[in-house]
Amino acid sequence: MQRSRFLVPALILVAAAAHAGDDDAPSYAFGAGVQRMPAWQGSKDQRNQPIPYVDIDLPGKGELSTADGLTIDLLAGEHWHGGIYGNWLWGRTHGDLGSLGGKVASLSPRFQGGGYLEYAFDKRFSVGGHVAHDTDGAGAYAALYADYQLPDVWYVQHSIELQVEGMNGPAMRRFFGVTPTEAATLGTSAWRPGAGWQSANIEYDAFVPTSQHTGFAVAVSYGRLFGNASDSPLVRQFGSTRQVTETLAFVYHF
């Protein structure tokens, strides 16, 4: 799903840099950057999006960030972590759709709320997942992920993340469905998909410090749509199953 999730592991790297040896200390990071991303979920075209960069991490209590949304820790053990999860899910505007604008529905952004559960094997490797539901709609979403922090190279901290994402029927139809009216306009077949896993992504993130409190956060994500998402006429005839996102931001942390 195209949610506000840019630089999720990179924010973890920034937090690690800010903690500087004190894992229980709060960390704060602010900045701005640009993200080159698919114009809409399944699009073959790219667009550049200016992005804010905020991360407030309070160990044992929760986190608020423009990348990974809001988490409130209700379970904060040595290995298990879990609690409340919330995030912002982007839609698609008439302009984002390009030549499809006015022919298929534009989608307003929505806030989603749910829960997360994560298991940290050690300080480098963790696995987890989250489930969420639209607060103003019928869409439900799930994700499973594994994150590994690679050994530092010089002062550069970097990590790799694997993630698969899925949707229920209403969410899948909202993003990838084609109504009979839209199909007649596009000259394609109607598509009413059901629930299922719809994408798999691998993401590389790095934090390159420029001083004790500043640095560049970099992320490159390669994703593939599959299942009902890749079978959608929107993707097959007008888009691509290949989804690439690149992000660069300058960050101040303390």
Q: Bigger pLDDT: 14 or 223?
A: 223
Residue 8 clears pLDDT 60, i.e. is over it: no
Contact 130, 163 (CB under 8 A): no
Q: What confidence category does residue 17 fall into, taking pLDDT thresholds of 50, 70 and 90?
A: low
DSSP state of 211: S
Average pLDDT, rounded, for the chain: 91
Asked whether residue 1 is assigned to any structural domain, the reply reads no
CA nearest neighbour of 100 among 56, 39, 16, 189: 39
| CA–CA separation, 87 and 223 (whole Å) | 20
In sequence order, the 6+-apart residues with CB closer than 8 A to the CB of 197 are: 164, 165, 166, 226, 227
Nearest to 26 by CA among 71, 54, 58, 55: 58
CB-based contact 232:199 (threshold 8 Å): no
Question: According to the model, what pLDDT value does residue 6 have?
Answer: 43
What is the C-alpha to C-alpha distance for residues 231 and 188, in angstroms, rounded to an integer? 13
**Percent of the chain whose pLDDT exceeds 70:** 91
Structure token pair of residue 192: 């009413």
Compute φ and ψ for 38, nearest 5 degrees: -60, 140
Domain that holds residue 112: 8-253
d(CA 165, CA 160): 17
Residue 186 domain flag: yes
Q: Stretch 185-189: mean pLDDT, rounded?
A: 97
Give the pLDDT mean for 187-213. Answer: 97
Angle among Cα 70, 67, 128 to the nearest 5 degrees reads 70
66, pLDDT greater than 90: no
Q: What is the pLDDT of residue 68?
A: 78
For residue 62, the domain's CATH number is 2.40.230
pLDDT exceeds cutoff 60 at 7: no
Residue 101, pLDDT score = 97
2: in domain: no
Average pLDDT over residues 214-234: 97
Count of domains for the chain: 1
Pairing of strands 125-134, 69-76: unpaired
